[in-house]
Structure 1
Amino acid sequence: MINRRFFLIVSSVILAHIVASKNLANNSLKTTKKNKEKIIIIGAGIAGLTAGKTLQNKGFEVILLEARNRIGGRLWTSKKWDDAFVDMGASWIHGKEGNPITQLANSINAQVFPTKSEKAIIYDINGKFITEEKEEKLDTLNNKLQEIISKIQNKYDEDISLQKALEKELKWQTLSDVNKQYFEYLLNSNIEQEYAADISQLSAFYFDETKEFDGDDLLFVKGYNLISDYLATGLNIKLDHTVESIASNSQGVNVITNKGNFQADRVIVTLPLGVLQKNIVKFSPPLPEKKLEAINQLGMGVLNKLYLLFPKRFWQNNYDWIEKISEKKGQWSEWVNLESALRKPILLGFNAGKFGREIESWSDEEIVADAMKNLRQIYGNSIPQPIDYQLTRWNQDPFTFGSYSYYATNSTPNHRQELAKPINKKIFFAGEATSIDYPATVHGAYFSGLRVSQEIITLTN
């Protein structure tokens, strides 16, 4: 399911990380005497806001430069529907147990709603509820996939794409059409929707190299921006400031934006990987070769959303997830029932990777019509048209060029580590793509904000 990692990894390493992060977060709340250093933070997403809050509470002078006309970055709560706020970016606290975002949510009494992967209903390619026999077959094939993936990661001497490895191990050409459809559904729902990339792009070695928190996944009933708004309180944030260049020398840093120059002792860069890959922001001196290699080797995925608001519910309300084995891999195969959480008849559909990118070139009307065609296969032609819709095109977003990072073929955790390294104690990097333990998550971005803050605090003590 999209709301769980393909493999669950819980270890003492995670617990140690959590304890350290809790201590750092608690310490950051204790305001100390004013530090004369000035820090510029580029980006007011979760990483930038966390770093800003931590450093300001430690006495640093902090200014955040945000290109958008809002804070939050890839946390983006739409309030278009007054009585139902929906998240266009991140939606879930992934794993509530020990998750720092859970702690933040509790501290501001944010209302959350659990969604469970086991509360799912699956329909076949013809839109019919799958029989118990077919469900058992899916379980068998899923177990086979997990076994093969475990073997793949210990079998090959050199990294290849997950698709090439699986095609070899499954003897793809010999499979029946039905088995191919089942495997494609499992690969899309368990992996491609999770990592926002096709298996043809994912590293067979490292695609699932991540750690997880245990417990339910939680939706914010009033939107994820409750967290970013809380972190932003009291910070000096300049919106609509697009950074064009960053220059550094022994004296400090100079940041040029579309609205003027800003000087400081150090700068924290939280630009999404997709923006770094486009080389839009110029660095002087240029970024080191190893840093550039890391930027270009890692992948930036796409996961797009479509919210449909209906006049009434026509689906069963005792399921959180509505899934379909689609004719074209990944085409409207994952839906979330939001009526229980938002008290409105709303369905949320996902499209990831290749198909997620493809539909960005379609008109809104074409996207909605294609989604409705899929839903009518399941629920019949008499279901009502949506009253309204909201959708995303993250790959076209000029401030992200994608949704979140993934391990592309031939990328490794060392690339994330390299991306996170500071340059000459002047330029620092944060964001989910720099997280080795929790990439592609809000809590990974949060931890990166704490990490980079501690790097600067240590240098200036």
Structure 2
Amino acid sequence: MDNISSTDYCAVIIVGAGIAGLAAANTLASNGIHFIIVEAQDNVGGRVKTIVSSDNIAVDLGAQFVHGEKNNKVYELCTTLDCLVDDEDESDEFFLTSKHKQVDSELAKEVWDIREKVLDKARKVKNTKKLFGDFLRENYQKEMLSTVDDADTRQAFVQWLLKIEVEDNGCQSLNDINLTEFGVFETLDGDYMRPLKNSFQPFLDYLLSMIPTNQLRLNSEVTKVEYLANKHLSIIEVIDRVNGCSKKLSCDHIIWTTSIGHLKDNFSQIFGTENKLIEQKQSAIENFGFGTVNKVVLIYPTPMNFWPNNVAGIYLLELPSAPVKLSRDQLSFLATHEVDPQKAQCIMDAIVYVCPSAAFRTVSFSIAGQAALFVEEMSEMVLCRLCHGILCHYLEITNEDKNQPICALK
């Protein structure tokens, strides 16, 4: 792989055009360092992906909140770009039970306090073999005993807290998380779920505006990397995913920003000749937790008249005494479309929070764990039926045509 012409050389090659890769490119550009970004997909942004629906509605299929404000460069840039919802414009959120009752705000506050207390305790645990999920369950149950008198509500909150942690951590199971390492993760102070006025697109456009188009290569997958010690160069082999042609590039440095999931599947193959690197990184990559979170977005023909006024999001609290089960009509629909009802039920059980867009034309559902994998198997039509059914149950929506979504996106 060492037959490289000088025209194929640049100082730095950035692998991956997600936010990390684009941010790295901006830093290099501002310092006059020549670089090339290679991205395997046909779009930039990684987990930040905004599309425009057929009704001209901007929909964030990926990230949609800014998490934390203090020492957060994303928050600072979004503030400068004026794409965050103003503090005074933010609406309330509340818990709604599967019996259609809103949970008292004081009780809800106590539950949030319990969550933070238990997570703080988890961050301080050292040298234990106890599983993270078991630790949370034991401590949530203990704390809830002195806070929630009703056993039905108490158990519902414990299950809800466990489900929200699966989503928050992006894991398949809470027991995949190392309890003694949980405290390493830094949660930034400030609003943890700051919404955007429309989408992340202005943020992405700003990052792209600083990068020359001829230094960005889409549909370009890195398949092999080799370091030539005698020349102090790294050689990467890139395959064009459109025409299948391969090309070799050389550089002084590589900034690797692809997902840990991609590295889990491809690390030893890509860096097959780099034994020292594999020895240093293989174990860390294999043991690094990586799960799946998927999103389903429902689009409605007009602003949703069934959504409560001044409500930014609803936490869905399924009571053991009132489980949300597939209806007879839903079961018949699933049978017609050859969908496993157990997988459909798993998806419904995993939904713990729903939130609308600023224009109240869309509602998004985040789904994590095993249910997230089932989402990938199902058509948008089936997901539309399931997710709208969840809204119908909790908000007691009548099944009128005007209340039906146009479609679902995933």
TM-score over 0.5 for the pair: yes
CA contact (8 A) 1:45 1:71 kept: yes
Aligned-pair distance for 1:319?
Answer: 0.8
Residue of structure 1 equivalent to 2:132 = 162
Which residue identity lines up with residue 408 of structure 2 in the other structure? Answer: Y
> Where in structure 2 are there 5+ consecutive unaligned residues?
1-8, 146-150, 241-246, 324-345
The aligned counterpart of 2:270 is 282
- Counterpart of 2:239 (choices 258, 266, 280) is 258
**1:324 matched to which residue of 2?**
316
User: Comparing 252-261 with 159-168, which one deviates more in the overlay?
Assistant: 159-168
Give the corresponding residue for 2:84.
Answer: 112
Query: Match of 2:180, as an amino acid?
Result: F
Instruction: Quote the residue 1:194 is aligned against.
Output: 168
Evaluate the alpha carbon distance shift between residue 118 and residue 157 of structure 1 in structure 2; reply closer, same or farther with a 3 A threshold. Answer: farther
Query: Which has the higher mean CA deviation after the structures are superposed, 160-169 or 274-283?
Result: 160-169
Structure 2 distance, partners of 1:277, 1:98, is 30
Match of 2:228 in 1: 249
Query: For residues 141 and 223 of structure 1, do their structure 2 counterparts lie closer, same or farther at Cα, with a shift above 3 Å needed?
Result: closer
Matched, 1:386 2:386: no
Tell me the distance in 2 between the aligned counterparts of 1:53 and 1:154.
37
Conservation of the 8 A alpha-carbon contact between 1:124 and 1:130: yes
In the other structure, the counterpart of 1:225 is 201
TM-score (norm 1): 0.67
Q: Higher mean Cα deviation, 92-101 or 65-74?
A: 92-101
> Shift in Å at residue 364 of structure 1?
2.1
Letter in 1 for 2:53: K
Structure 1 unmatched ranges of 5 or more: 1-35, 392-461
Superposed counterparts of 1:15-414, under 5 Å: 38-81=11-54, 83-107=56-80, 109-114=81-86, 119-126=92-99, 128-132=100-104, 136-137=106-107, 139-140=109-110, 142-154=112-124, 157-169=127-139, 176=151, 178-189=153-164, 191-197=165-171, 198-207=173-182, 209-215=185-191, 217-233=193-209, 234-235=211-212, 236-250=215-229, 251=231, 252-259=233-240, 260-279=247-266, 282-283=270-271, 284-286=273-275, 287-312=277-302, 313=304, 314-326=306-318, 327=323, 331-338=350-357, 341=358, 343-383=359-399, 384-391=403-410
Amino acid at match of 2:293: L
Q: CA deviation at 1:253?
A: 0.9
Please identify the structure whose Cα radius of gyration is greater.
Answer: 2
Distance change >3 Å, CA 205–CA 193, structure 1 → 2: same
**Paired letter, 1:42:** V
1:303, distance to aligned residue in structure 2 (A): 1.8
Give the whole-Å Cα distance in 2 for the aligned partners of 1:289 and 1:101: 34
Deviation at 1:205, TM superposition (A): 2.9
Q: Which amino acid aligns with 1:121?
A: F
Query: What are the superposed Cα offsets for residues 13-70 of structure 1, whole Å, 9 maximum, x if unpaired?
Result: xxxxxxxxxxxxxxxxxxxxxxx96111111111111212222332322111111111
Aligned-pair distance for 1:121? Answer: 2.2
Deviation, 1:142, is: 4.9
1:113 alignment partner, SS class: coil
| Aligned-residue RMSD, C-alpha | 2.9
Question: In structure 2, how many angstroms separate the alpha carbons of the residues matched to 1:50 and 1:170?
Answer: 39
